[in-house]
Structure 1
Amino acid sequence: MKFRPKKILKWTGYTFLGLFLFLIALTWIIPFFFSDTIKSLIDKELQKQVNADVHFKANDFSLSFLRSFPNLSVGQENLSITGKGEFQGDTLMAFQSFRASVNVWSFLWGSEPQVTGIYLKKPRIFVKVKANGKANYDIMIPQIDTIKKEEKPTEFQIGIRWWEIQDGYLVYDDKAQKIYTKIDKLNHRGSGNFNQKVFDLTTFTSLDRLNVVTNGASMVENRLFEFDVTMNINNDEKKYTFKKNSIKINDFVFGFDGYVQLLKDSTTKLDVSYKAQENKFKNILSLVPAI
């Protein structure tokens, strides 16, 4: 029998293409035909884990290989969480869109699926602490450990490489400590390989308006902030080195470098220096509160 490598490669290619198209079809078929089942399973699991009302529609759930190929993109639109008991009906969190990038291919090779990226669009977070100290974010139901020592629980690994928050809004209202904070238009993105012991963590954060009130006195009013930070993380030495960094408050920009290290005797070694990058008078004047 004559050996035909080209024909074998051709049919191998067709096989992988067919498998890929089948997986893409599944990501459309599963949410469409099994939306009620998916919602029922999620609701049942949430009732075990969370003492709050979680509102979402199964039709807004999505799976796709196209958005974050070769990873699987898992998405949910228009989800909100409201409290129970003392916080009945109060919204703790809501967002327009949530998406997670999941490496499911590692599962085929004997490893657990990994979450590699998270994206939040228009998250709205309302944190409330009453004068008696009770907080609306304390919603997790205590779990009883029923796993035997010899059993190894199934793990869903976290291998975050990137994350992003677009157009966020945050209110922190603490009646016990008499602190009120509001952040408008929070945008944040970051990247870093947390599976490595030594890696660079790169983040950029911007706030259009930050307001802070303490004991009835306005401490920060309508301030614009930008943080552009690159940090080298050494987990073995517990050393965090600032590399390329700048902070902008209104028009005033300053940078910093140095490092922070956690020592074995539970003390902290700190060597950080700051330097203004733009020291024009108008930049400094932008820090002065308007009268």
Structure 2
Amino acid sequence: MKKGLKIAAITVGVIIILMLLLPFAFQGKIADIVKTEGNKMLNAQFDFKKLNISLFRNFPQASVTLEDFWLKGTGEFANDTLVQAGEVTAAINLFSLFGDSGYDISKIFIEDTKLHAIVLPDGQINWDIMKPDMSATDETPVAEEEESSPFKVKLQRFVIKNMNLVYDDQQGKMYADIRDFNAICAGDLGSERTTLKLEAETKSLTYKMNGIPFLANTNISAKMDVDADLANNKYTLKDNTIRLNAIQAGIDGWVALKDPAIDMDLKLNTNDIGFKEILSLIPAIYATEFSSLKTDGTATLTATAKGILQGDTVPSFNIDMQVKNAMFRYPALPAGVDQINISANV
């Protein structure tokens, strides 16, 4: 019995030692693969400071981590950094590195990331960095197509931590600034259809159209299940909740990605909510002792968007807000504002 335990302990020890040493043997090979495949697929400049491999972090899969990763465009965007990430980690089936059927990636983690998306006045976009698939012709044998696309992304989990994103659409005159964005997406992204479970939150969202601020430093969170038709890039919202500052709402409908356009049919609605929740969308009130504000009254808010978003073309939309018998007052002031009734429609 003691001899068997001793053999088992030695075996486990040897396995652990091998798991510590093997990554060093694969590190150079994987670094070469990443750079080679990146140059094959991307029409952009990219590099990373360091590549690490661990067999423990996502056991039994290997974790490949790129530190200080950055990606720049070319031509008009040669001086613009599209992505800069402190750490990008992918969980890879280690045995797929030695086969000829592709590299199997199931999980991706991105941390401390800055992303800057730009649309120039002439419609050029800085994220169009994928090289055209020259193998996708009728004359190309199937075997060659498979050989030219070695990555098999069978994602089960996608995690973003601490991302800052700027979207600057100079053609459509839209600007968005997202700060401290965190998200988790789980589902079988390797299939043609799946249910995606999504949780996301951003501490600060600023959105402007034609220079007019519609949202300023708005805190937004979402939790939703999405019926994802990945073959046709159409996403239908199922059970979900979304929160804008103190307003909680539900969204129904669908979004379809039709590069370069986005087609949609969406409806946002709330039940009766307190007047204070509506006031929370006004940055000046939200930032000035909002927690001590005394309010009364109810409000409803609904919004719809249906149609194509592309350049100067925006979907038809409708926003309706009703406020009944509302009031607000700060305790430090002698009087407040009452008998507020609003019927607003855009």
Amino acid in structure 1 at the alignment position of 2:46: V
What is the alpha-carbon root mean square deviation over aligned residues? 3.9
**Cα deviation, residue 56, structure 1:** 1.6
Structure 2: unaligned runs, 5 residues or longer: 257-262, 286-346
User: Paired residue for 1:128, among 95, 118, 134?
Assistant: 118
Cα distance in 1 for residues equivalent to 2:32 and 2:281? 52
CA contact (8 A) 2:91 2:106 kept: yes
Query: Which residue, out of 172, 179, 185, partners 1:177?
Result: 172
**Would you say 1:140 and 2:130 are equivalent positions?**
yes
CA distance in 1, matches of 2:214, 2:269: 23
The SS at the match of 1:177 is: coil
Identity %: 26
* Residues in 2 aligned to 1:217 and 1:150: alpha-carbon distance in whole angstroms: 52
Aligned length: 269
- Please state if 1:26 is matched with 2:18: no
Change (3 A) 1:122 1:83: same
Task: State the distance in 2 between where 1:271 and 1:136 align.
Answer: 28
Name 1:99's counterpart in structure 2: 89
| AA of the residue aligned to 1:284 | I
Alignment of 1:4-15 (within 5 A): none
**More displaced stretch, 117-126 vs 135-144:** 135-144
SS state at 1:142 partner: coil
Q: 1:80 matched to which residue of 2?
A: 70
CA distance in 1 between partners of 2:197 and 2:105 (Å): 18
What secondary structure is seen at the aligned counterpart in 2 of 1:140?
A: coil
Partner of residue 68, structure 1:
58
More strand by share: 2
**Given the alignment of the two structures, is residue 284 of structure 1 paired with residue 293 of structure 2, yes or no?**
no
Query: Measured at CA, do residues 286 and 239 of structure 1 come closer, stay the same or move farther in structure 2, by a change above 3 Å?
Result: closer
Are residues 1:54 and 2:49 paired? no
Gaps of 5+ in 1: 1-5, 263-267
- 3-state SS of 1:65 partner: strand
1 CA distance for matches of 2:100 and 2:36?
28
Shift of 1:87: 2.0
Whether 1:163 and 2:158 are equivalent positions in the alignment is yes
Q: Deviations over 1:224-260 (max 9, x none)?
A: 1110113456889x994623x2111011112356x76
1:149 aligns with 2:144: no
| TM-score of the aligned structures, taking structure 2 as reference length | 0.64
Structure 1 residue 79 displacement after superposition: 0.8
Tell whether the 8 Å contact from 1:192 to 1:200 is kept in structure 2 after alignment.
yes
